[in-house]
Amino acid sequence: MITVEKSIMIDKPVAEVFAYASNIDNVTKWQDGVESVEVEGDPGTVGGKYTEVRKFLGREMKTTLEITAFELNDKWSAKVIRGPVPYEVVARYESTTGGTKVTMRVAGEPTGFFKVAEGMVSSQLNKSMEEDFQRLKALLESA
């Protein structure tokens, strides 16, 4: 089992940060490995689904996720329902005096190639999440 959790402070109101980060249309703008996203249903509600194509460790992964929580300005989560690596992602948004604290946790059980390379997967996920958070911060704070 791999679990990676990261937090970042963003100098913008929680409503603005939540609206941007939870909008599936923005995923390719702040998550570097995501090449494309295809929406099925309403991605802004629990039960909404989307399929993302991403590059990870030099491999293309096509994964379909289902939104499991959508609590305005507080929590967004999704879990894999089809794809090579079963995982769940949970993002929490907390209003602070300096803006918004975002905490994201990704937990999953690698299989196949990804199980063999579990240490590398964990390390790369850690690095990717850090870089993605920095990109999200830069995009939001420059707007």
Inter-CA distances, 61 with 7, 40, 93, 121, 143, Å: 25, 18, 27, 13, 31
Residue-wise burial string across 49-81, b where 16 or more C-beta atoms lie within 10 A, e elsewhere: bbbbebebeeeebebebbbbebeebeebbbbbe
Give the pLDDT of residue 119: 67
112 pLDDT above the threshold of 80: no
Q: How many domains does the chain have?
A: 1
Per-residue pLDDT of 10-42, as tens digits, reads 999 999 999 999 999 999 999 988 999 999 888
Tell me the pTM: 0.89
CATH code, domain carrying 11: 3.30.530.20
Q: Which domain holds residue 106?
A: 2-142
Per-residue pLDDT of 65-100, as tens digits, reads 999 999 999 999 999 999 888 899 999 999 999 899
Q: What average pLDDT does the structure give for the chain?
A: 90
